Chain A
């Protein structure tokens, strides 16, 4: 398997064939994960916390597919299968999460997570 040598500066460069290496996919998925983390941590709106979690799940999916594509290919495509199941679980999570947002909104008349403080000790 061909390996691209890392340059001394540490920044990834494209090899002569101009094909993106596994590293670039990992960097993009790390960036997507951190944007999702940013949305989940810094937004005050419950729906956006859910969107952030969905982005983090999608970043994990990109990683699974990239490792499947660049690694040795097993007979059952494990990375693809894990991603399909992860998408199904994410859909279930989004449905329940949005239903929770609706139920909480009905009680508090707000979706700002700072104001959901009835259980606070």
Chain B
């Protein structure tokens, strides 16, 4: 884990996230969102969780970002540029950030350095998924099926 990589990824991720949160043009913001999630996946790689980083790229950059772009294009007749920006949200976000920063800097226990560990293999993850985490895995399967059916029901044309 090198600090140069860390700061590079941190700057790219936070800048892209800020762009996604503030850019007035919707499609630009959606693409910055995809970049921000590539940055989050890079953090996972940096922390030694390569499998989670790959899942993040597949799910967010591959699926969710495309879904968001499609939704923007399908709802295009609406205003392309949005009006009105709620500045009280900025104040609340800054207050929450100040609180979190104070808590993190105040806690001495979180200023630990990484110890070298054995790399986590996909085999270990698969074994954990099939033994300790088999019930959560089944629940996630049911949840995803229900979400798929629910999404289809929501967007189906109503018969009149």
Contacts and interface: CB of A to CB of B under 8 A. Distances in A.
Contacts of A42: 21, 85-90, 93
Given A32-B14, A92-B143, A103 B154 contact: yes
A64 to B, nearest CB: 9
A19 B143 contact: no
B14 A31 contact: yes
A43 B104 contact: no
A112 B136 contact: no
Query: Which size bracket describes the interface of B in this complex?
Result: 35 or more
B14 A22 contact: no
Contacts, number: 277
Interface string B109-146: 01111110110100011001101110010001001100
A65 to B, nearest CB: 5
B68 A41 contact: no
A35 B14 contact: yes
Main SS of the interface on chain B? helix
A27 B52 CA distance: 21
B151 A85 contact: no
A54 B33 CA distance: 9
Contacts of B29: 48, 51
Contact of A36 (B17, B59, B75): B17
Given A44-B84, A96-B151, A102-B154, A88 B75 contact: no
A96 B146 CA distance: 10
Contact of B111 (A3, A47, A51, A92): A3
A103 B112 contact: no
A58 B147 CA distance: 20
11 contacts: A19-B1, A21-B112, A34-B93, A36-B17, A43-B86, A54-B33, A55-B36, A58-B40, A69-B47, A70-B112, A83-B44
A12 to B, nearest CB: 7
